[in-house]
């Protein structure tokens, strides 16, 4: 059966339908008498990870779409729902199991094709607060593509469907069921998070406008529980039970429809829901999830695809060849992907001398990133530039605010105690960033 038109199941339709953030949320279309909201809106007894699929606010199209919470604060969703400009990001809030979370935009990264290293229509980003909701489970990403005819679960945040079946002629004129060519459902009023069943019917690679992405698809059928994507489902999950364990195998991105089909209002049997095949990207997704908040999240957000290159992203690396390590730039809130400005150089630790009430002190003054986590910062002194000893500063205080970043200016003071010479340094240690 030929399906000739291919559309992203995205919030761009919201500009036509004028939904706002205060409206009810959405769902996949599900065949059967219970498919309009009586069933499929809560987790089944064999829970695939229902609570992990949340609503993601698309700030470009002003519409709630879908995303999947993985673990360690990381979300995975369609890039086209968190896009800004040609290759940037824009984020609203994320609603998971009734709880609203913010997004740390600096952690956002596009997933890349493992062969061409070009971006695909998938994005990952961390929430600002690590969820503690016990309903959220650790999601396993499929390492291999499920076989054709494998049973799937589709869940997302798209439009509801009408109560009754609709029939259309070959020119998409509604009929009473006599002489019809197509059948299915019109979109209905209201929305709610809903899941349904599917069957993997084929694989392909397609550019949906945001990079060539490896897909598998599932065909909408006139069978109880059969699911079909609708606008708002982009970023929703496709789950597969591999033996006794549920895995996340796909992220819904697009729908494939018949020529001439009114795509803004119909789901017809034979339409296909297209999902990114996560088996192609599982290694990269798992690598990103291994990041702990702190230096690694900061570096990942700035270096993007180069995060996996140690010569560029490691704490001791100096990708600008300026002699200033990434770790020190993280500490002083300096962007390591561009040459330092004069203001950035002035933010680096500077040694000085001061006298307070007749007592002499060496000082270290610097701009400090207020969001740093996980670093070990030590003040050290020595007499011969060889044997360094950790010391506790006699004073650590904020002496101002940086006019460029708004970060605090910190000064640490160490008493000289009559030494004829004394050397002072700041040692910054970054823990291993993991695989």
What secondary structure letter does DSSP report for 232?
T
What secondary structure letter does DSSP report for 298?
H
Tens digit of each residue's pLDDT (9 = 90 or more) over 320-340: 999 999 999 999 999 999 999
**242 and 329 within one domain:** no
**50 and 33 within one domain:** yes
What is the number of other CB atoms lying within 10 angstroms of the CB of residue 207?
12
How far is 350 from 358, CA to CA, in rounded Å? 22
46: confidence class by pLDDT, cuts 50, 70, 90: very high
Q: Give the DSSP letter string of 419-430.
A: -S--EEEEEEE-
Please work out, in degrees rounded to the nearest 5, the angle formed at the alpha carbon of residue 201 by the alpha carbons of 197 and 206.
110
What is the number of other CB atoms lying within 10 angstroms of the CB of residue 185?
25
**Residue 275 confidence (pLDDT):** 96
**Residue 28: domain span:** 5-283
* pLDDT higher than 90, residue 68: yes
Q: Give the DSSP letter string of 237-272.
A: EEEEEETTEEEEEEEEEEEEE-TT--TTTEEETT-E
Q: How many domains does the chain have?
A: 2
Task: Look at residues 265, 283, 301 and tell me which one is the last residue of a structural domain.
Answer: 283
**Among all chains, which residue has been given the structure tokens 């597969």?**
240
**322 and 202 within one domain:** no
Longest Cα–Cα distance of the chain, Å, equals 103
* pLDDT higher than 80, residue 126: yes
**327 and 240 within one domain:** no
Rg (CA), the chain: 27
Give the count of alpha carbons within 13 A of 121, CB side only: 29
* pLDDT higher than 90, residue 412: yes
**130 and 11 within one domain:** yes
**171 and 112 within one domain:** yes
| CA dihedral (275, 272, 210, 136) positive or negative | negative
Assess contact for 90 and 59: CB atoms under 8 A.
yes
How far is 291 from 308, CA to CA, in rounded Å? 11
160: confidence class by pLDDT, cuts 50, 70, 90: confident
Assess contact for 204 and 277: CB atoms under 8 A.
no
* pLDDT higher than 90, residue 76: yes
Nearest to 66 by CA among 38, 96, 44, 41: 96
Highest mean pLDDT among 23-37, 41-55, 101-115, 288-302: 41-55
For the segment 55-70, the average pLDDT, to the nearest whole number, is: 87
Nearest to 100 by CA among 21, 192, 27: 21
- 3-state DSSP helix/strand/coil percent for the chain, to nearest 5? 15, 40, 45
**238 and 218 within one domain:** yes
* pLDDT higher than 70, residue 16: no
Tens digit of each residue's pLDDT (9 = 90 or more) over 246-303: 999 999 999 899 999 998 789 999 999 999 999 999 988 988 887 686 787 788 778 8
22: confidence class by pLDDT, cuts 50, 70, 90: very low
**Residue 291 confidence (pLDDT):** 62
Cross-strand partners of 161: 187
How far is 7 from 391, CA to CA, in rounded Å? 63
For 144, the token pair is: 């291999």
Task: Look at residues 261, 283, 305 and tell me which one is the last residue of a structural domain.
Answer: 283
* pLDDT higher than 50, residue 196: yes
**309 and 275 within one domain:** no
- The SS3 assignment for 391 reads strand
Quick check: pTM over 0.85? no
**321 and 250 within one domain:** no
Assess contact for 55 and 186: CB atoms under 8 A.
no
**Residue 293 confidence (pLDDT):** 63
More confident residue, 77 or 86: 77
**332 and 230 within one domain:** no
How far is 414 from 353, CA to CA, in rounded Å? 10
**Residue 303 confidence (pLDDT):** 83
Task: Look at residues 239, 266, 283 and tell me which one is the last residue of a structural domain.
Answer: 283
**138 and 31 within one domain:** yes
- What's the CATH number where 184 sits? 2.40.10.120
Assess contact for 285 and 141: CB atoms under 8 A.
yes
- In sequence order, the 6+-apart residues with CB closer than 8 A to the CB of 324 are 318, 334, 340, 348
For 28, the token pair is: 């996949």
**94 and 179 within one domain:** yes
């Amino acid at each position: 059966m030929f399906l000739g038109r291919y559309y992203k199941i995205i919030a761009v339709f919201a500009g036509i339908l004028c939904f706002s953030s205060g409206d009810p949320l959405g769902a996949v279309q599900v065949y059967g008498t219970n498919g309009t909201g009586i069933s499929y809106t809560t987790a089944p007894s064999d829970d695939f990870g229902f609570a992990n699929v949340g609503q993601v606010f698309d700030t470009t199209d002003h519409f709630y779409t879908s995303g999947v919470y993985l673990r360690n604060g990381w979300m995975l969703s369609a890039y086209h729902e968190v896009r800004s400009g040609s290759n940037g990001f824009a984020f609203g809030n994320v609603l998971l199991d009734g709880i609203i979370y913010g997004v740390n935009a600096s952690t956002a990264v596009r997933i890349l094709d493992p062969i061409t290293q070009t971006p695909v229509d998938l994005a990952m980003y961390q929430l600002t607060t690590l969820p503690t909701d016990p309903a959220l489970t650790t999601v396993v990403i499929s390492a291999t593509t499920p076989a054709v005819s494998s049973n799937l679960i589709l869940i997302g945040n798209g439009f509801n469907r009408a109560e009754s079946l609709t029939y259309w002629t070959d020119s998409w004129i509604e009929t009473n069921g006599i002489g019809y060519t197509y059948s299915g459902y019109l979109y209905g009023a209201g929305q709610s998070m809903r899941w349904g069943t599917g069957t993997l019917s084929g694989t392909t690679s397609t550019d949906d406008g945001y990079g060539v992405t490896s897909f598998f698809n599932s065909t909408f059928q006139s069978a109880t529980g059969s699911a079909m994507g609708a606008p708002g489902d982009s970023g929703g999950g496709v789950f597969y039970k591999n033996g006794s364990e549920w895995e996340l195998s796909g992220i819904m991105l697009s729908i494939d429809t018949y020529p001439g089909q009114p795509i803004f209002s119909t789901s017809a049997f034979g339409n296909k829901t297209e999902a990114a095949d996560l088996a192609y990207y599982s290694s990269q997704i798992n690598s990103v999830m291994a990041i702990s908040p702190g230096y690694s999240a900061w570096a990942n957000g700035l270096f993007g695809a180069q995060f996996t290159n140690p010569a560029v992203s490691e704490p001791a690396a100096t990708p600008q060849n300026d002699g200033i390590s990434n770790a020190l730039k993280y500490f002083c809130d300096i962007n390591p992907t561009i040459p330092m400005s004069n203001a950035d150089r002035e933010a680096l630790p500077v040694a000085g001398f001061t006298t307070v009430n007749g007592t002499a002190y060496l000082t270290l003054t610097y701009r400090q990133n207020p969001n740093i986590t996980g670093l070990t910062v030590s003040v050290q002194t020595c007499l011969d530039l060889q044997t360094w000893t950790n010391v506790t500063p006699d004073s650590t205080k904020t002496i101002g605010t940086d006019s460029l970043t708004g970060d605090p200016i910190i000064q640490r003071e160490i008493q000289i105690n009559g030494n004829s010479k004394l050397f002072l340094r700041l040692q910054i240690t970054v823990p291993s960033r993991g695989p």
